[in-house]
Structure 1
């Protein structure tokens, strides 16, 4: 008889660590932090994103791919080889873990766009990557690119996060930013592609919550070439940040004012210049307002942002010590790896916690 798991809307756990000087952090730290929140998951999804883990290939895009079968791999690799120069192709190194069963084929490719194809396309390099990712994920059945950034990677699957970390041998990796997620699926099935984080280029999102605006968000995004193939709200949030910041050139502050927009009564109390700006953002990008309870961590190669919904229906704590910034669903998950933080606080609803690498002025 199949197990039946109760629906717990407040479930899921998120955690993030960054070193502002870009110094390496072992993968064991983030595993310890997310493992402490074991009871927020149910074993149907866990994952990590890590930045700075591929210094020897830092100018290459690292494509992490799930395949259902060898035939699916062959078909997708024909496309990859046609559009990219592939420096290295290999199975991602894993180890046997009793709790992890029936994993897909998991490969990675360190690639650069073929110059003639890139020039003929008249696209930027990032847009070329995005279109190739969208094409494989929407048209190549049995193949799914789940990570596509430079000098970073996502590692995810079906299982508790600590088991996923063991499976991917994350104790052997070091990075200057780590985020993690323990999933309790609510509106979509627990499967390898549906686990968090969701990524595109070097954006990554881990998310606790349930977004009621998904269909509105997805319909808007699909007008601009994004393929929301997973029917999952976290995928849409990832694409929202890519659209607002990379495509539209909005600053982080303005993008956050779209995703977690101030309430209209708050806008009415702002000074005239700020009031007109926030009104314009809410009108122009009304379909990208994220509604419903959420706490998220947005990862990029230049820093992280943690954010609650506007009325704080999901928990989030933050702390600092020296050059380190910590964020997590629970304070205990921070203290597990930083027992005596210098500062620790609970952000207000809609109030972002922003950490950037030293010397970086913009998260783009």
Structure 2
């Protein structure tokens, strides 16, 4: 019951919906939207309820314009969440992804660059995970040291794509040979920002 706010900010819009990418693209007329980056996440919930409130991406409440999608499990989630709650943060779900979003947003608020924040998270978060964080001016990815969750990156001079399944790249870009594709290694983090 009641109303849930999925995002609050100036530059990011969070759309949570149950449909395939084409249906979302058409329903919200994303072809007309002036955006620099977009994040989509198809998820099979294994650790939280299956409903729109518990679906990705998660907004880093109370920080504006930071969201995270995540694949895996952060094993020190409950310990870190309690520490953050004692410092005054509140959480809307029991999902570890929501904590990752708040953790990263706090790092940014303390003056770290996006690249520094995602790199620091490799040491501060335990578990098997790959996540993507989106901010107003860029996005970053991190993969845990065990590299149990996939993370493929494709880059050209004009764009970057990050996927967990290689078939997603083939479906989107066909057989373009000028695309540099690689797998993020265990313990590696990267960030891209607008120039």
User: Is 1:229 equivalent to 2:92 in the alignment?
Assistant: yes
* Ranges in structure 2 where 5+ consecutive residues have no aligned partner: none
User: Is 1:146 equivalent to 2:6 in the alignment?
Assistant: yes
SS at match of 1:175: coil
Structure 1 match to 2:165: 330
- The CA RMSD measured in Å over matched residues stands at 1.9
**Structure (1/2) with the larger helix percentage:** 1
236 and 321 in structure 1: CA distance in 2 versus 1, 3 angstrom threshold: same
254 and 173 in structure 1: CA distance in 2 versus 1, 3 angstrom threshold: closer
Structure 1 match to 2:148: 313
- Distance in 2 (alpha carbons) for counterparts of 1:174 and 1:326: 18
Q: How does 1:142-291 map to 2 (within 5 A)?
A: 142-200=2-60, 201-246=64-109, 248-261=110-123, 289-291=124-126
User: Is 1:355 equivalent to 2:192 in the alignment?
Assistant: yes
- Distance in 2 (alpha carbons) for counterparts of 1:325 and 1:181: 16
**1:313, distance to aligned residue in structure 2 (A):** 0.7
Instruction: Give the ranges of 4+ consecutive aligned residues of structure 1 lying more than 6 Å apart after TM superposition.
Output: none
Whose relative contact order is higher, 1 or 2, with alpha carbons under 8 Å and at least 6 apart? 1
- Distance in 2 (alpha carbons) for counterparts of 1:346 and 1:224: 37
Structure ID, larger Rg = 1
- Distance in 1 (alpha carbons) for counterparts of 2:28 and 2:71: 23
Query: Deviation string for 1:13-43 (max 9, x for gaps)?
Result: xxxxxxxxxxxxxxxxxxxxxxxxxxxxxxx
Structure 2 match to 1:292: 127
| TM-score normalised to structure 1 length | 0.49
SS at match of 2:161: strand
Q: How does 1:106-121 map to 2 (within 5 A)?
A: none
**1:160, distance to aligned residue in structure 2 (A):** 4.8
330 and 241 in structure 1: CA distance in 2 versus 1, 3 angstrom threshold: same
Q: May I ask how many residue pairs the two structures share in their alignment?
A: 190
- Distance in 2 (alpha carbons) for counterparts of 1:258 and 1:322: 27
Contact 2:154 2:161 in 1 (8 A): yes
Structure 2 match to 1:44: none
Query: Deviation string for 1:123-174 (max 9, x for gaps)?
Result: xxxxxxxxxxxxxxxxxxx121111121320001345555444544434434
- Distance in 1 (alpha carbons) for counterparts of 2:119 and 2:34: 33
SS at match of 2:173: coil
253 and 165 in structure 1: CA distance in 2 versus 1, 3 angstrom threshold: closer
* Ranges in structure 1 where 5+ consecutive residues have no aligned partner: 1-67, 69-141, 262-288, 359-364
SS at match of 2:75: coil
Contact 2:118 2:140 in 1 (8 A): no
Contact 1:221 1:239 in 2 (8 A): no
